[in-house]
Amino acid sequence: MMSNESADDGAGSSSYKESEVKEEQAESSSSSRSTPMETDRIRGCVQGDCVSGTGVYIYDNDDEYSGSFVNDLRNGSGRMKYKNGDRFEGSFKDDLRDGKGTYIFKNGAMLEGIFEMGKMIGPGKVRFPDTSIYEGDFQDEKNSAEGVMYSSFDHSKRHCRIENKIVLCGGPLQESGDIRPLH
């Protein structure tokens, strides 16, 4: 969902499109669990109790979950490592990201906030690889209401919003918090 390019493009927008937030798909849910296969890597529950306890489970697509299970589903605190290099650390409910958590992209960018049914909803932050930070209320990982971008590039603050994974910003904020128009 975020790209290695997160700097303002000069037109008041930034993008974090390179990699998508890994969707909660069948590949990494209990419905796709299998018994260990005869391959070079063991799949399935490789440590602990992956039914109603704490364990480590490796999915058929090589995603790996370590954490709490209830009734054969990810529930409670856990850590998901995705084959593409992304990872999620936080709360799960009924096999989905749910509650406080952090989604960390392989490029170093992060989404921090509250997740509901696998999607980031409500107040949250995007930390870009260049250390710029966006804070706002999220409708999902792709869109947000108004927020503020703190640029590490020029140390400015701007009113912004996210539309379809692109950060769109207005002019710099004045000390009063009002937007100063760009000249």
Domains of the chain, by residue range, sit at 1-19+120-183, 21-104
Model pLDDT, residue 80: 98
Model pLDDT, residue 168: 82
What are the backbone dihedrals phi and psi of residue 64, each rounded to the nearest 5 degrees, phi first?
Answer: -130, 130
Cα 68 to Cα 46: distance, rounded to the nearest angstrom: 14
- Please give the C-alpha separations between residue 28 and each of 16, 95, 136, 158, in angstroms, as whole numbers: 24, 9, 29, 38
Model pLDDT, residue 137: 86
Q: Are 101 and 93 in contact (CB under 8 A)?
A: no
Task: Write out residues in the chain with pLDDT < 70, as ranges.
Answer: 1-40, 141-143, 171-183
- Angle of CA points 175, 146, 165, to nearest 5°: 125
SS (H, E, C) 122-152: EEEEEECCCCCEEEEEECCCCCEEEEEEECC
Q: Could you report the per-residue pLDDT of 29-50, keeping only the tens digit for each?
A: 444 454 444 456 789 999 999 9
What are the backbone dihedrals phi and psi of residue 17, each rounded to the nearest 5 degrees, phi first?
Answer: -95, -15
Model pLDDT, residue 139: 80
Model pLDDT, residue 180: 40
Cα 79 to Cα 163: distance, rounded to the nearest angstrom: 28
Model pLDDT, residue 167: 79
Model pLDDT, residue 28: 46
